[in-house]
Amino acid sequence: MSSTVSQNGSGAGQKGLKKNALGLLGSVVIGTASTAPAYSLAASLGFIVASGGSLLAGVKAPGIMLIAFVPMFLIAIAYKEMNQAEPDCGTTFTWATRAFGSITGWMGGWGIIIADIICMSNLAQIAGAYSFTFVGQITGNQAISDLAKDTTWSTVAGVIWILLMTYICYRGIEVSARMQYALLGIELIILLVFAVYALFRVYTGQAESYSLTPQLDWFNPFTLDFGSIIAPAILTALFIYWGWDTAVSVNEETKDPAKTSGRAAIISTVLLLVTYLLVSTAAVAFAGTGTQGIGLGNPDNSGDVFLAIGPQLFGNSPLGTVFLVLLSASVLTSAAASTQTTILPTARTALSMAAYKAIPTKFASIHKKYLTPSWSTWGMGIISVVFYLVFTMISSSLLLALIGSIGLMIAFYYGLTGFAATWYYRRTIFRSVRNFFMRGLFPTLGGLMLLAAFIYGLQQFLLPDWLTDDNGDNVTIFGLGAVGVVGLMALAVGVVLMVIWWIIKPDFFRGKTLSRRTHILVLDEATGLEKVSVFGAPDAGAERDVIAPDLSNLPTGAVAIDTVTGEKVTRRSLREAENDKK
């Protein structure tokens, strides 16, 4: 690490990352690729359809995709609004600290880091297994394909993938973006072929006897019980949508950071919705929800629905063999792409936390040539390898429990961001109709939905029989469901680490490096009424005179400035805005 240099700046855009490296398209590609559409569907769709050998959402899996999109979209709006206020790569960590204080902010940052580390174990497992499946199909060597089921060999391959993608992230954001263009393109094209061909066979009567014709009722999940079905299914579906926030975590490296990243996040969630509705509908229609054969309700298929459906869908013809290889390639490239893009937000969150001295400052080191967070990138990669190896050695069944526990982490820090946005903008929410919806109602609704899903989902995840292994035995920890316990333990570890660092280095927790603040109006010094200093981060100088939202303390003839948008506000413009609302 001798080629790294620590940066003195801690505020947004001051950490030494490469500026103007990404545009809107690149940000959307990174945000979409981070979710790993093919891998996420392969690993999660079966758990949405059924759990523990019994149906969960069943044919209404597309409806779960639809309802899970709602909080995702609302939280994407919260990200957009908070990013406009402070385009900092720490995202939830920085914003929650601004809104609620250091303890909440630190746990928000921990939620991002631990979710990413847990996710890497799943990504590594499937990338490693699919490497052998793909090579075996290409070469026609069944012995190589069989290695995908060998825990030792798939683990070795998984570790190699983590280290390889960590190195690519270390080499620079532009290298990462160029690779994502290719990987995401391959992935989406193959998913489209899969969905279109499956639906073609269903609607032309060339499907199987157990195939189903799609119905509009599939998109209505509200006939299901919320506590026992909808909430846990949504937490699993959140895992499928999760990752678009990577587009925001690279905000300090984009052109026009305050706008580009937020727009990319919203566009990414909409693209994912279209993809998931199409593919989930096609999969349920062709394979059905039965508990035997290729049915999505069969627990043997829950780990990878595409591996189960593919041979039956494409057949054994030469063309079918080609499509099977491509399907394997889509999941492999998906897992590889997401492995890379999962490292990006983890490293940048750690970078921001270190810059504000919330964790050791060594993690704020930036490579002189590549302008990437060197220690944070390699640190997260190595920790992910250790975590993956430990869980694999304990029990491969625990890896299945990780997907649900990731859902808990996602609901935690995404929901926290929604609440942070509303609280941060609380003084100016009622200044306009747009503010009320975009900074008040929508973020709050998103946060409440995720909070409800977290609570109800946790209750189900803690049930001893929630997850079973290949032998039909319950997967438990301390007699409770492993999924719920892993989630709670992940948060508990964060609390312990926070307390330890608080004792060692208390400056961050005392508000000396990153303090609370809210969205306010300040006096415009250009009016010439009084000399004031620039408003900014705590270490950027004194604040301007704060103006009340109703402008009651605005001097006659003076102008107020919105600290986020830069918009100038006068009593006249405020009256006009209020008249428009009427």
**Domains of the chain with CATH codes:** 25-345+384-510 (1.20.1740.10), 521-581 (no CATH)
Mean pLDDT for the stretch of residues 562-578: 66
Q: Is the pLDDT of residue 11 over 90?
A: no
Binned at pLDDT 50, 70 and 90, residue 30 comes out as: confident
* Residue of 141 and 522 predicted with greater confidence: 141
Q: Taking residues 540-566, report their average pLDDT.
A: 59
Is pLDDT above 90 for 75? yes
pLDDT reading at 580 higher than 50: yes
* Widest distance between CA atoms in the chain: 83
Report the candidate in 128, 144, 130, 42 with the shortest Cα–Cα distance to residue 389: 128
Phi, psi dihedrals of residue 562, rounded to the nearest 5°: -75, 120
pLDDT reported for residue 427: 86
**What is each CA distance from 476 to 345, 372, 398, in whole angstroms?**
31, 40, 9
Looking at residue 577, its pLDDT comes to 64
What one-letter code names the amino acid at 366? I
**Residue 41 pLDDT more than 60?**
yes
Confidence of residue 14 (pLDDT cuts 50, 70, 90): low
Q: What is the pLDDT, as a whole number, of residue 3?
A: 45
* pTM for this prediction: 0.80
Give the residue from 406, 18, 278 showing the smallest Cα distance to 26. Answer: 18
Region 33-52: mean pLDDT is: 81
Least confident of 15-24, 408-417, 542-551: 542-551
The better pLDDT of the pair 423, 175 is held by 423
Do 83 and 76 meet the contact criterion of CB atoms below 8 Å apart?
no
SS3 224: coil
Contact 554, 560 (CB under 8 A): yes
Supply the mean pLDDT for the chain. Answer: 82
pLDDT at 539: 36
Res. 546: pLDDT tops 70: no
Q: How confident is the model at residue 519 (pLDDT cuts 50, 70, 90)?
A: low
pLDDT higher than threshold 80 for residue 542: no
What average pLDDT does range 113-137 have in this prediction?
Answer: 84
pLDDT recorded at residue 301 = 76
Is the torsion defined by CA of 301, 302, 303, 308 positive or negative? positive
**Quick one: pLDDT at residue 530?**
39
User: Token pair for residue 228?
Assistant: 């026992």
Provide the pLDDT for residue 415.
Answer: 95
Percentages of the chain per state (helix, strand, coil), in multiples of 5: 70, 5, 25
Q: What is the pLDDT of residues 438-487, one digit of tens each?
A: 999 999 999 999 998 888 888 888 988 877 766 777 778 888 888 888 88
Alpha-helix residue ranges (DSSP H) falling in 86-230: 92-100, 102-139, 142-146, 151-171, 173-203
- 106: confidence class by pLDDT, cuts 50, 70, 90: very high
